[in-house]
Structure 1
Amino acid sequence: MMLLLFTGCSGKEPQEALESVQTPSVEEQEGLDEVDTSVDASENAGITVEYSKKDLETTYDETTATKIVFSGEALVTGEGAETDGKNVTITKGGTYLLSGTSEDGSLSVKVTEEEDVVLILNGLDLTSRSTSAIKIYEADKVVLTLSSGTKNILRDAEIYEEEELAPSGAVYSKGDLTINGEGELLVYGNYAHGIVSKDDFKMVSGEVTVYAKEDGIKGKDLVAVKDGSLYIEAGSDGIQSSNDEDPEKGIVLLEKGSVTISSGNDGIQAETVLEIREGTYVLTTGGGSSISSASENWGNFGLSSPLEEESSDSAKGLKAGTALRILGGTFDISSSDDAVHANGNILVQNGVLSISSGDDGIHADDTVEIAGGEIYIEMSYEGIEGAKVIIGDGKIHVGAKDDGINTAGGNDSSSLNGRPGQNMFSSDGSFLSITGGEIRIQAEGDGIDVNGDAEMTGGLVFIEGPVNDGNSALDYNGSFSITGGTLLALGSSGMAMNVSETSTQGAFLLNGEEVAAGETLVIKTSSGEELLSYTTEKNSASLLFSSEELKQGETYGVYSEGKELSQVSMISLVTTIGTSGMAPGGGKNPGGGMIPGGRKVPGGRP
């Protein structure tokens, strides 16, 4: 005997139902594996970042360090640095101990490209009225060490004077830049950016807060965070790596730590690869999910019209050019644009993601692969979207204004209401594979929409689809073959679809029997054994059920609140009772998978 119990929150309005997706009460199928949270993320890590001894070293010898004290007039004690009164220039590699307060001063580093410089920030409050607070013209590597127990503040000017370096951040480096230590650093990017490295930026430890007019942290070739705490408020991107000329650069690697970002555009953006292994991430982009794709205030916190922005602008939570890998961590993302986005592939191997999006929850132009973890998409336009969607394990709960899961071939080249960064898909080559896991979908459009072929060999899938007849709980243009697992799909009857006749597991579609929201559905064998008990959140008029327990030639009873709806005789392995608006053999009416004239869905997208 198999017993499935899925209890929703009955009697709610549609939006409340979407919000409730995160925490349903469930008794799971016996034998369903718990999500493995012990995966060693390093086994599948594709990025290797080396940390030198200087990157990791936080101790220093105060007796040999050159001391620089900023005040009305800067004071230098030791070798390797000189001052013009308020500004200090370091001309020799070594260790420098910085302290004091200046309301109009700056620090410059001009050493050879073979020399390293270590700057110990030991209670430094430095403001420049004409340029960057710290600017590094040349060095092999510069390390900012935050002395334990100290608070350090760096501010640049709102207007820069013309100079050869043309810096654009409160901390600006033409070479590699590392931050470590156990102290605190506050950076105010009044002119443009907060912290900028034209090569690699690494954060090993410490507590860093950045307020920036434009981007928070920029590492052109690499941004790597080993540990520590980051808090960023940025008018544009929170964290960005932008090298688009070398496929081995433009990388963001986040290994551990705590990252909180509120940004007008993307939260974390990598031109090539974004990889996250552990840590805690709280991201709010474009004003959050309440400022959705349809809002004219999208992006930049409404400070300027998005219609006037360049086409490269977007407000995604996590964004990668070629690959985005989530190997672990805890995420809370509220985005006006896609929450998790890649122009190539996305892999979710582990972690817990709580997503609220004004656009797609997870979107890849190529493949979305979910191999584990927990994903709660509380609000989205489309929940999970990609040319190929492969689900092997994990717990996935989706709330969507349109489709819960959508597969379609193509790339992400246009957007809802003209905003850059959404999909323009064709129907060629798309594919859905479900081999395991637990998937629960609340959708106002199609529950699962596959513009190509789909196969299901295992796992649990529960769908509550549309209440309108222009969509269906299950929709596919090619085939949907089921050979294992359990599928329950509820929705309207007008376009309801059964699985394909190529399926080797029993399935039946019962059309025309109405069930009200909040009622409990029960499916029993002829001997009275319960196969399923499910409490609905929406009205429905169709029921699709597939289970390894269904056998050809047997009869099964379907009940709602104890009242018999139907006795289903499995005259064939795939049986349909009642009629719908779908043509035999799968697929929607002629016209490219749409109702003639084009199907309209919530928000105005065809």
Structure 2
Amino acid sequence: MRRRLIPFALPLAVAGLVLAGCAVTAQPGSSTDTSTSTSQTTTETIAEVDSTIPAAAADLLAANADGTVVKDDEWSIADAVDVTLSGATATSSSSAVAVDGSTVTISAAGVYRLSGTLDGQVVVDAPEDALVVLVLDGATVTNADGSAIHVVSADDVAVNLAAGSTNTITGASSADADASAAIYADTDLTISGSGSLTVTDSGNDGISATDDLAIIGGTITVDAADDGLRGKDSLVVKDGAVSITAGGDALKSDQTDDATQGYVWIAGGTIDATAGDDGIDAQTDAVVTGGAITLATDDDGIHSETALAIAGGQIDITRSYEGIESADIRIAGGATSVTSSDDGVNASGNSTSGGGGMGGGGGMQDSGETLTISGGTLRIDADGDGLDSNGTISMTGGEVTVYGPTSNGNGALDSNGGITVSGGTLVAIGSSGMAESPETSSAQGWLAAAVDGSDGSSIQITDATGAVIASYTGVKDFQTVVFSSAAISSGQSYTVTVDGTATTVAAGQAVSGGMGGGMGGGRP
């Protein structure tokens, strides 16, 4: 078939990373003469980098392999062949649709509209160069012994949710089955449209593709024993409303053979996920540039093995063990809130020494991880370390508020390689036993104060003239406040007042007795 490289959804396209669209039946007025089967591959590319995506995310996306998507304007519903599902059987006028008992097999490229109820399985076994579009228009498919929709062979498959339709797909697949999901595609898979889809799998995954999985529309509800959405080569969500309950990971990409694949990119839409493992789990990169995302997880909120960038959107991690974890973490935009029972944001993974600093149970050496904050807003409520890195923490912009641990075994700030601040606003409120401050070499001034506060305590920072620089409210017991902004000048005196009790400090002087290194700032 013809495959062309096109912008996924401007202004989301970046140089070097585009989603390959699959052109099928020519639309009225089109000069392109195509079919739903085969044609030559073209190499149209995007010439300009979208300037609205910060480089922190654009660089990661540009280094990854192209994803594949079947857009709704690349096929026509007028070409659809009706497939009527009727209990334990089905009927269709197409010779490409075979019915054997309760198994419906589609063997050729084309557009197929499914409606009715089937207690059985829909199989796509088409040529390797075929595009197959399944339009679900009031379709219910239930398979008590495996996947309900199983794509055995094709080039690309799209599942389109017809406008106003309600569709239900239920499977009972097992982990060792050939098709281990209620909707399973051994090819690229796109979910699109404006209808609704409920997917349930009591044995394994909800929706799974061995190649690229793209969600570009629809109201999708997934309840899976293991992973909710899984695209082995890549998982991209651009649009739609997705709700996931998963025993394993909610959204996952796990290709291990190619460093340019195995990524998750959230570019838009809304996601509400509850997971027994990670909310978002990427073998390589996890990138968020848009959407709204709510995650409640028993392990990490967002996890990647290589790099993780947040450059837009709204993220609310309401429950997690660790909120955000990767070896290379870049916060460049968006509004992010994290609640965690351990570390809030943890840059780790380059060594086997465990978590950052003493709080993570590992060594104190700098093992090369990086946590870089250049924009956006980040709010952390952590029972472990707030901002944690086995390597360095660097802040050049943005607004970060950390409500750190009450235990002295962890700190609101914790790094092995030092903390530098040259822009933005940082406040870290937490315990005193492991308190750490930025390096004295930081370009932007900072202060640290030993105080005594609790949930509901008022915190006010004033300069030598009494002018208020910042105000906060405590959410748990705390003994230290670290603050940095453009309003702080090194060597000047400032007052931190907690519930009426004033503590005067000199900017650039760390709290003695903690991990701040006394007068020098940073680590000892």
Q: Normalised by the shorter chain, which TM-score bucket?
A: 0.7 to 0.9
* DSSP 3-state at the match of 2:466: coil
Query: In the superposition, relative to structure 1, how do residues 575 and 102 fare at CA in structure 2: closer, same or farther (>3 Å)?
Result: closer
Question: Are positions 1:485 and 2:452 aligned together?
Answer: no
Q: 2 CA distance for matches of 1:170 and 1:586?
A: 64
Q: Count matched residues.
A: 434
2:84, 2:309 → 1: CA distance? Answer: 50
Does the CA-based 8 Å contact 1:193-1:212 persist in structure 2? yes
The 1:240/1:204 distance shift into structure 2, 3 A limit, reads same
Matched residues in 2 for 1:195 and 1:521: separation? Answer: 57
Please say if residues 453 and 478 of structure 1, whose CA atoms lie closer than 8 Å, have aligned partners that are also in contact: yes
Equivalent residue number for residue 216 of structure 1: 182
Larger Cα Rg: Structure 1 or Structure 2? Answer: 1
- Matched residue, 1:450: 389
User: Could you tell me which residue of structure 2 aligns to residue 134 of structure 1?
Assistant: 104
One-letter identity of the residue aligned with 1:555: S
CA distance in 2, matches of 1:531, 1:101: 70
Whole-Å Cα distance in 1 between the matches of residues 523 and 189 of structure 2?
Answer: 47
TM-score normalized by the length of structure 2: 0.77
Q: Identity, % of aligned pairs? A: 29
Report deviation, 1:186.
0.6
Moved more, 183-192 or 38-47: 38-47
Name the structure 2 match of 1:204.
160
Paired position in structure 1 for 2:192:
226
SS in 2 for 1:59: helix
Offset from partner CA, 1:349-408 (integer Å, 9 cap, x none): 011101100110000001001111111000000000000000111101000000000001
Cα offset, 1:101, TM superposition = 3.9
Supply the distance in 1 between the matched residues of 2:474 and 2:85 (Cα, whole angstroms).
Answer: 65
- Identify which of 486, 489, 513 aligns with 1:548: 486
Higher relative contact order (CA 8 A, sep 6+): 1
**Counterpart code for 2:125:** S
Name the Cα RMSD after superposition.
Answer: 2.9
CA gap of 1:272–1:588, structure 2 versus 1, over 3 A, is: farther
Find the aligned partners of 2:291 and 2:146 in 1 and give their Cα distance. Answer: 34
Structure 1 window deviating more from structure 2 (427-436 vs 325-334): it is 427-436
Of 483-492 and 223-232, deviating more is 223-232
Q: Is the alpha carbon distance of 1:486 and 1:170 closer, same or farther for their aligned partners in structure 2, counting shifts above 3 Å?
A: same
Query: 8 Å contact 1:316–1:339 — kept in the other structure?
Result: yes
**How far, CA to CA, are the matches of 1:155 and 1:172 in structure 2?**
17
Structure 2 stretches lacking a partner, 5+ long: 1-8, 26-35, 37-73, 174-180, 255-261, 355-364
- Which residue is 1:576 aligned to? 510
- Aligned positions of 1:83-162 closer than 5 A: 97-99=82-84, 101=86, 103=88, 105=89, 117=96, 128=101, 132-136=102-106, 138-139=107-108, 141-146=109-114, 151-156=115-120
Matched, 1:41 2:60: no
- Contact 1:49/1:224 (CA < 8 Å) preserved in 2? no
- The residue type equivalent to 2:186 in the other structure is K
Query: Structure 2 CA distance, aligned partners of 1:430 and 1:341?
Result: 18
* Post-superposition offset of 1:97: 4.9
Counterpart amino acid of residue 524 in structure 1: T
Of the structure 1 ranges 385-394 and 201-210, higher mean CA displacement relative to structure 2 is found in 201-210
Taking the aligned partners of 1:553 and 1:582, their CA distance within structure 2 comes to: 17
- What's the offset of the Cα at 1:178? 3.4
The answer to whether the Cα contact below 8 Å between 1:332 and 1:354 also exists between their aligned partners in 2 is yes
Is contact 1:362–1:385 with CA below 8 Å preserved after alignment? yes
Name the counterpart of 2:246. 285
Deviations 1:72-112 (A, max 9, x none): xxxxxxxxxxxxxxxxxxxxxxx865548464x4679997x
Deviation at residue 554 of structure 1 after TM alignment:
2.1
Give the distance between the partners of 1:552 and 1:143, measured in 2 at CA.
Answer: 68
Matching residue's letter, 2:138: E
Q: Structure 1 counterpart of 2:149, which letter?
A: I
Indicate whether 1:50 and 2:22 are aligned. yes
Residue 316 of structure 1, aligned match among 249, 255, 266: 249
Is 1:398–2:338 an aligned residue pair?
yes
Task: Name the CA shift for 1:587/1:553 in 2 (closer, same or farther; >3 Å).
Answer: closer
Aligned equivalent of 2:132? 178
Q: TM-score, normalised by structure 1?
A: 0.67
Q: Equivalent of 2:232, from 271, 275, 279?
A: 271
CA distance in 2, matches of 1:548, 1:502: 15
The amino acid of 2:78's aligned partner reads T
